[in-house]
Amino acid sequence: MILASLLLMLADNPTCRPCKVSPAGIGLIQHFEGYSPFVYEDVAGKKTIGFGHLILPGERFREPMLPDEATKLLEKDAARTVSGVNRMVRVPLRQGQADSLHSFAFNLGTGALQSSTLLKRVNSGRHADVPGEFLLWNKARVGGVLRVFPGLTRRREAESEFYQLD
């Protein structure tokens, strides 16, 4: 249901270049990152707080972090991701396409996007091939073994759906 309401936010979907992350894109990231008012270790063992903010050396946060604070921190983090995505994407995108790429890069890093076939498909205008490329990125390495994670599968499916919005 949350995903459906986010998709409705993108009903008017003109092209952009460069593209910002929309409120629906922020909602997509929030939905899949989840919210934690307290510091925790993510699946990779990195200290995290709020909506997926990776805590950098020397950073300190008051706990519990309030949802509004977490959203502001997410918007700041997303701005860096947006900047990286905009540097790499050479074609105009619809907002849903941009938001899906921003979510992908926020989750995996802009380096993963930069070296991906997904980005090559975007930049070559092969937009019909892009949704399937998202679905290949549903694994994470745990204890040296690459494993499929259902949460990553759901996120990639949602990003794929956002990408296909008209």
Is the pLDDT assigned to residue 9 strictly greater than 60? no
Half-sphere exposure of 47 (CA within 13 A, CB side): 9
**Which residues, in sequence order, are CB contacts of 82 under 8 Å at separation 6+?**
18, 19, 20, 21, 102
**Which residues, in sequence order, are CB contacts of 63 under 8 Å at separation 6+?**
37, 38, 39, 49
Task: Please report which confidence band the pLDDT of residue 166 belongs to, taking 50, 70 and 90 as the band edges.
Answer: low
* Interval 89-106: pLDDT, tens: 999 999 999 999 999 999
**pLDDT confidence of residue 43:** 76
- Domains in the chain, ordered, with CATH? 18-163 (1.10.530.40)
Which token pair is 42? 């993510």
Alpha-carbon Rg for the chain, nearest whole angstrom, is 16
* Interval 123-133: pLDDT, tens: 999 999 999 99
Is the pLDDT assigned to residue 117 strictly greater than 70? yes
Choose the weakest-confidence range: 32-46, 82-96, 98-112.
Answer: 32-46
CB 37 within 8 A of CB 65: yes
Q: Which of 33, 133, 159, 161 is catalytic?
A: 33
Active site residue 33: yes
Kindly report whether the peptide bond that precedes residue 150 is cis, defined as omega within 30 degrees of 0. no
pTM score above 0.75: yes
Q: Which among 85, 121, 116, 115 is positioned nearest to 100, based on CA atoms? A: 85
